[in-house]
Structure 1
Amino acid sequence: MSISLILFDMNDVLCHYDRAARIAGLAAIAGREPEAIEEAIWASGYEDSADIGAMGADDYLRGFGERIGYRLTLGDWVGTLRGSITPLLEAIALAQQVRQTVRIAALTNNNFLVAREIATIFPAVPAIFGSAFNVSAEFGARKPDPEIYRRCIARHQVQAAATLFIDDSVANVAGAEAVGLLAHRHTSMTALTDLLLHYGILPAVRP
């Protein structure tokens, strides 16, 4: 079966995400120690609960501020997240190229606020993927739960065997494979380019 959809992860595929830098920025704004921010948001499971859609965008932002003891504005939240992201330009260029041949979409473990503000956080993503940028909160599950892949491909109306999933996480790749997706663990642009050449998605001569 030929590839009908390529499903890209975001963090550490299309960009490098530095959570420590984000936490440091939040700590500076809130006047708290980084360890307190880490505990309040990540170690507590708050971020994971938002990633499975347990709260809407505004409730998430309000609760985020309450947990770190600071009335965090949208600008504060967006600014610290955007500052922790470094676009991986070669991967972005590759996604732009392959969308000329096959449908593409993105699937990231993230919340409704990221979905709403992605044009400010990471402008290249909506420019490339448009409405095919999906966060886990939309599906009520986060990678590597097999259910998220089932729900995502159902939305895009493609079969599992015709979907190529690209992610840097071993666990996330295994979750995709468990429901029949073709899956590739992203380790280098060379390996990814070779894979796309193998499937005939890129021309035989590399750009």
Structure 2
Amino acid sequence: MPISLVLFDMDDVLAHYDRSARVRCLASLSGRPFDEVAQTIWGSGLEAKADAGLIDDDSYLRETGKLLGCRVSRDDWLLARRESMSPNFEVLALAETVSRTCRIAVLTNNPRLVTDNIAYLCLPIAELFGRNVFASASFSAAKPSTQTFLKCIDSLGAAPSESLFIDDLEANVAGARKAGLTGHVFTGHKVLAEELRQRGLLNR
């Protein structure tokens, strides 16, 4: 089947993601050591719950504050997230070219805080993808769950067999393939360009 939808991961695909920059911001806010903040955030399981939509944004911010021993406002959290992101212009350029002949969208493992504020966090992504930036939390499951992919492409009116998913994590690509999508493990924009070209998505 020809590809009619290309679904991109965000972190480490469309945007370079520096988790350490995010940790430094939260460490400065809380006054806690870098390693302790990193362990607290990702070792607690809270991020995974938020990504899977098992906790709403306000509760997520409150729980983050409790773990760090300080108040974490929406603005605090967004600033830390923004500091960790920078556009991957090579991949964005590929996506823009693909968009001329094919639908494009973003599916990222994140709470709605990220997608609801994508223009603040990474304006080039917001400008290119518009409303088609989706958080896994919106689908009550995180990648690589097949539910995440199927609900996302259904909301776009696409079929799995006509959808291509691009992610830097092999497990997520495997989940997409299990859901019936075509998958590509992202290792760099040059390899991705060749994949898209072979599928006729850059030269239709």
TM-score range normalised by the length of the shorter chain: over 0.9
Are 1:25 and 2:25 matched, yes or no?
Answer: yes
- Tell me which amino acid in the other structure corresponds to 2:189: M
CA distance in structure 2 between the partners assigned to 1:110 and 1:117 by the alignment: 12
Q: How does 1:98-113 map to 2 (within 5 A)?
A: 98-113=98-113
Structure 2's unaligned 5+ residue stretches are none
- Tell me which amino acid in the other structure corresponds to 1:67: L
- What percentage of aligned pairs have identical amino acids? 43
CA distance in structure 2 between the partners assigned to 1:71 and 1:54 by the alignment: 21
Indicate the residue corresponding to 2:74 in structure 1: 74
SS in 1 for 2:129: helix
**With structure 1 as the length reference, what TM-score do the two structures score?**
0.94
CA distance in structure 2 between the partners assigned to 1:122 and 1:198 by the alignment: 29
- Tell me which amino acid in the other structure corresponds to 2:75: G
CA distance in structure 2 between the partners assigned to 1:126 and 1:28 by the alignment: 28
SS in 2 for 1:165: strand
SS in 1 for 2:131: helix
Are 1:119 and 2:119 matched, yes or no?
Answer: yes
Indicate the residue corresponding to 2:48 in structure 1: 48
SS in 2 for 1:184: strand
Indicate the residue corresponding to 1:85 in structure 2: 85
Indicate the residue corresponding to 1:131 in structure 2: 131
CA distance in structure 2 between the partners assigned to 1:194 and 1:35 by the alignment: 39
CA distance in structure 2 between the partners assigned to 1:160 and 1:180 by the alignment: 5
CA distance in structure 1 between the partners assigned to 2:188 and 2:73 by the alignment: 37
- Matched length: 204
- Tell me which amino acid in the other structure corresponds to 1:169: L
- Tell me which amino acid in the other structure corresponds to 1:140: S
Runs of 4+ in 1 over 6 A off after TM superposition: none
